[in-house]
């Protein structure tokens, strides 16, 4: 196999094509394509057909037809001539080893300058080959692109991965929306509740029965004293009635004791725990009420 056949085979294999593909696309017989790659040109009927097939096949493979034709062996005559009946052997002419039914190639002439590789311009001095029709390509056969083989299993796997990714993204979006909505609901006040306290409610309770926060001063109520829920009020020197109301407004129970004192009767002279002490709601606050001198 010479340089011409090597170029044809490498170009076909680089495109991932078989001889069946080339035969279908170029409409050239597979037998002739094999002859071109093996450089067995005697299989092809005549040199003009061989050059036409070579031009079409090289263009189909993406090679330069002129450079491939430069590698084609030249003959003494441009084409085959019709076989002539050979004269009978005589004394003046020796018998020919080639019969009339077996045409053969002519002896090739001196080799023409050849380019080192396809893709470069022809060397100066190389005679330009005469125009010959391109067989197969000239009749509308498209030059095929490189065929890419696809795996159905890989396509199915890619579709499954894309579907799972879309579901995951939608799930994240829905979860973010749900968390945002729950945060908005928890920050807004519940229906029927008011954030403002009602100073007229006893025992430090606001409107609608909501308790007042511990440590928040409540305006004077029925006792007439400023009371802070969770803090023992100062009722020393107040009347027993005001002391009872103030202690109840602070959230405590009242425990009373009576004792004689120089203070007017009915006046609180002592209390326990001491005023302004934080105490758990519901515990007892003891007051000592004067019975007079």
**Euclidean distance between CA atoms 52 and 65, whole angstroms:** 10
Per-residue model confidence (pLDDT) at position 271: 92
| Nearest by Cα to 45 from 131, 103, 113, 4 | 103
User: Which residues in the chain show pLDDT less than 70?
Assistant: 1, 75-150, 185-221
**What distance in Å separates the CA atoms of residue 182 and residue 127, rounded to the nearest whole number?**
87
| Cβ-based neighbour number of residue 182 at 10 Å | 10
The C-alpha atoms of residue 254 and residue 234 are separated, in whole angstroms, by: 13
Pick the closest to residue 234 from 263, 204, 268 (CA basis): 268
Which H or E element spans position 270?
A: strand 268-272
List C-alpha distances in Å: 2 to 6, 9, 33, 36, 109.
6, 11, 15, 11, 17
Nearest to 201 by CA among 182, 181, 216: 216
The CATH code of domain 202-290 reads 3.30.10.20
**Exposure b/e, 211-221, CB count within 10 A at least 16 = b:** ebeeeeebeeb
Residues with Cβ < 8 Å from 52, sequence gap 6 or more?
132, 133, 134, 135
Please tell me the predicted confidence (pLDDT) of residue 265: 87
Any residues with CB less than 8 A from the CB of 292 and at least 6 apart, and which?
260, 261, 263, 264, 265
**Which DSSP state fits 257?**
E
**Domain limits, the chain:** 1-76+105-149, 150-189, 202-290
> According to the model, what pLDDT value does residue 141 have?
46
Q: What gap in Å lies between CA 78 and CA 229, rounded to an integer?
A: 123
Q: How many residues does the chain have?
A: 293
Q: Which of 132, 143, 136, 146 is nearest to 56 (CA)?
A: 136
**The predicted structure's pLDDT at residue 152:** 79
Q: Write 123-131 long-range contacts (CB < 8 A, 24+).
A: 126/70, 128/66, 129/51, 129/66, 129/69, 129/70, 130/78
Cα–Cα–Cα angle for 75, 77, 80, nearest 5°? 95
Which of 189, 231, 182 is CA-nearest to residue 208? Answer: 189
Quick one: tokens of 55? 């031009």
Q: Which CATH architecture has domain 1-76+105-149?
A: Orthogonal Bundle (1.10)
């Amino acid at each position: 196999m010479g340089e011409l056949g090597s170029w044809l085979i490498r170009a076909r294999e680089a495109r991932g094509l078989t001889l069946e593909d080339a035969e279908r696309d170029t409409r050239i017989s597979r037998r002739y394509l094999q002859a071109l790659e093996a450089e067995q040109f005697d299989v092809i009927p005549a040199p003009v057909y061989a050059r036409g097939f070579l031009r079409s096949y090289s263009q189909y493979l993406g090679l330069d037809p002129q450079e491939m034709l430069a590698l084609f062996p030249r003959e003494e005559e441009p084409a085959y001539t019709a076989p002539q009946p050979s004269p009978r052997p005589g004394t003046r002419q020796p018998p020919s080893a080639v019969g009339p039914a077996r045409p053969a190639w002519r002896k090739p002439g001196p080799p023409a300058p050849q380019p080192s590789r396809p893709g470069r311009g022809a060397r100066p001095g190389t005679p330009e080959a005469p125009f010959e029709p391109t067989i197969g390509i000239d009749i509308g056969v498209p030059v095929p692109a490189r065929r890419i083989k696809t795996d159905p299993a890989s396509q199915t796997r890619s579709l499954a991965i894309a579907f799972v990714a879309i579901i995951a993204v939608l799930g994240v979006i829905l979860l973010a929306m749900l968390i945002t909505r729950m945060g908005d609901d928890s920050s807004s006040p519940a229906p029927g509740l008011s954030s403002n306290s009602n100073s007229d409610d006893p025992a430090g309770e606001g409107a609608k029965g909501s308790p007042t926060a511990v440590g928040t001063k409540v305006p004077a109520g029925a006792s007439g004293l400023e009371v802070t829920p969770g803090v023992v009020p100062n009722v020393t020197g107040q009347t027993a009635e005001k002391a009872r109301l103030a202690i109840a407004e602070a959230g405590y129970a009242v425990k009373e004791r009576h004792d004689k004192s120089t203070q007017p009767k009915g006046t609180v002279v002592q209390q326990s725990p001491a005023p302004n002490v934080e105490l758990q709601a519901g515990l007892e606050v003891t007051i000592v009420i004067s019975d007079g001198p």
